[in-house]
Amino acid sequence: MVVSHQIPMGKYAASIDDVRAAAKRIKGIGHRTPILTSKTLDRLAGRKLFFKCENFQKVGAFKFRGGWNAISMLSDKDAKNGVCTHSSGNHAQAVAYAALKRGIPAYIVMPNNSPDVKLEAVKGYGANVTLCEPTLEARQTTLEKISEKTGAEVIHPFNNPNVIAGQGTAALELIEDVGEVDAIIAPIGGGGLMSGTCITTRSLLPNAKLFGAEPKGADDAYRSLKEGKMLPQESPNTICDGLLTSLGENTWNILKDHLNAIYTVSDDEVIKAMKLIWERMKIIIEPSCATPVAAVLSSEFKELKGIEKVGIILTGGNIDLSKIPF
């Protein structure tokens, strides 16, 4: 039986009650994604692994959870002019699809180097797409102009409290389906998923370890945790296109208090993890999604003691099949 331990109300952008409320909104709209296991990966990692397969979620990524939760909570007045956001792909798809379900317009700002598979999916959901230079400043400036022009409600990719609560439902389902685990690990980009995972896990399994995974070429969260203050992403260089952004104030406030460690992995390790998941589990995951897999297979992670059961959130599978790097 999983017992809830209350984190002080009001300290963070979202609470376990917010996560549970989000789960009710998502039920019947999104998928309760499966949890897969692999004896081969267990052997390679030296512990039991439980893969929460959000690559099977609506839009092919966990981002649907937060996008739908935030958009479904808008009043008719706030939603009347539609919604807008900036994203390199998966949050863009989530907002576009959620807006389509609600019957309102979606305006999406995407960097001009976004993967084609993600760009085409966003357009396929009927969103109005504006391309910009692949910098955070360009994304934010373009979004502000579109919001001012259209009156659309901004759905921030990760710093929105309702997005954080929605993302926390992936860990909620994992814990409900598996029971007690000794640790949960997930990728960190802006930190929406990881912060939601922290809120859920700390409330339900207060003794479990919480780990993040980042590419070495985009390691702002790792550096931030090490320095004890939020540091910006600086010239990211990695194939993990979903992890290029910086943390937000709301996500950092949660991560700094609850993360036990962040593991960084090379792009080569990411590619090897993607290939291994395909070979042994017969599923495709995108590079960003492979970071926690690469982390648990690293020699550094294997040295950890007292951790026998690890939950891994596989965040998405949206990758151009013509550009699979193995």
Residues with catalytic function: 63, 88
**Residue (of 34, 33, 36, 37) closest to 47 by Cα position:** 37
Q: What would the two tokens of residue 265 be?
A: 């992995």
Structural tokens at position 36: 């897969």
- On whether the CB atoms of residues 205 and 181 are closer than 8 A, the answer is yes
First to last CA, the chain: 42
Q: How many CA atoms lie within 13 A of 284 on its CB side?
A: 12
Distance CA 198, CA 184 (A): 9
Strands 106-111 and 83-86: parallel
Query: What's the token pair of residue 178?
Result: 């598996």
3-state helix, strand, coil in the chain (%, to 5): 50, 15, 35
Cα-based angle 57, 144, 250 (whole degrees, multiple of 5): 55
SS3 category, 315: coil
Task: Please check whether residue 312 is in contact with residue 51, taking contact to mean a CB–CB distance below 8 angstroms.
Answer: yes
